[in-house]
Amino acid sequence: MSHIIVVGCGRLGAELAYSLFQQKKQVVVIDENDNAFNNLHADFLGRRVHGDALNQEVLERAGIKQAQGLAAVTNSDPQNAVVAYLAQNFYHVPRVISRSYNPQLRKIHEIFGLQLISSTSWGAQRIEEILLQTDLRMIFSAGNGEVEIYEFIIPDNLNGKMLEVLFAGASCNPVALTRFGKAIIPDNKTILQTGDLIQVSATLDGARILRQKLQGHEV
């Protein structure tokens, strides 16, 4: 059974811990505020460790030497970064995630070379996409949303044009093209047809440009 430590029992930490518990993982939650454990679901049966995760004794009491994963998800970026760094470089925990609570402090995590998740940045991007989305649908997000996989159907205004026209000036790459139920890996010279289903990898800026082209602009 996987042994996973969740540092921080706020709303995010409590939800993560419970989700892992439901998947039959051995979960230990650390928080220095004893009242924070009230955020846990009533039927959560994982361990609770009261203490400062920056304290080596607290981490070892939580079983960090046997942990296969650790998520540092408190509201303090410096604390998350330091705890994640210790887990990754001192205790050699195989999978470590650090939460970036304040996007302005993201550099702290990057300096330590940590895998990070910023719920603030990710949430803002998702809201923006929903507000602005036309025919471009996000189906997968990598990292912290810097690169995503989108799919869309080729409209009439792009019929007969080369794929390179669609991607010109956009930070994106083709993943697959499906036509009449058959998928191929397209290249820049592939001729598009109305109704083609395209999957592309793109940055947020690349997705904006694609949306404009799908609406008939800049083609």
The structural domains of the chain, with segments of one domain joined by +, span 3-117, 122-214
- pLDDT given for residue 126 in this prediction: 63
Hey, how many other C-beta atoms are within 10 angstroms of the C-beta on 23?
10
Residue 125 is predicted with a pLDDT of 66
- Cβ 191 vs Cβ 162: under 8 Å: yes
pLDDT at position 1, please? 59
Q: What is the pLDDT of residue 219?
A: 47
The string of DSSP codes covering 1-26 is --EEEEE--SHHHHHHHHHHHHTT-E
According to CATH, the superfamily of the domain at 122-214 is Regulator of K+ conductance, C-terminal domain (3.30.70.1450)
CA dist 212 and 109 (Å) reads: 34
Model pTM? 0.65
Say if residues 18 and 41 touch (Cβ distance below 8 Å): yes
Architecture of domain 3-117: 3-Layer(aba) Sandwich (3.40)
Taking the chain (219 residues) in consecutive chunks of 10 residues, what is each chunk's mean pLDDT?
91 94 95 96 96 96 96 93 94 93 81 79 66 70 82 87 86 90 91 91 86 70
Q: Which pair of tokens denotes residue 185?
A: 């890996």
What strands, in cross-sheet order, belong to the sheet with 182-184? 137-142, 147-153, 197-202, 172-179, 182-184
Query: By the 8 A CB rule, do 54 and 75 touch?
Result: no
Q: What are the beta bridge partners of residue 137?
A: 151
Half-sphere exposure of 24 (CA within 13 A, CB side): 1
What residue spans of 23-73 are helical by DSSP H? 56-61
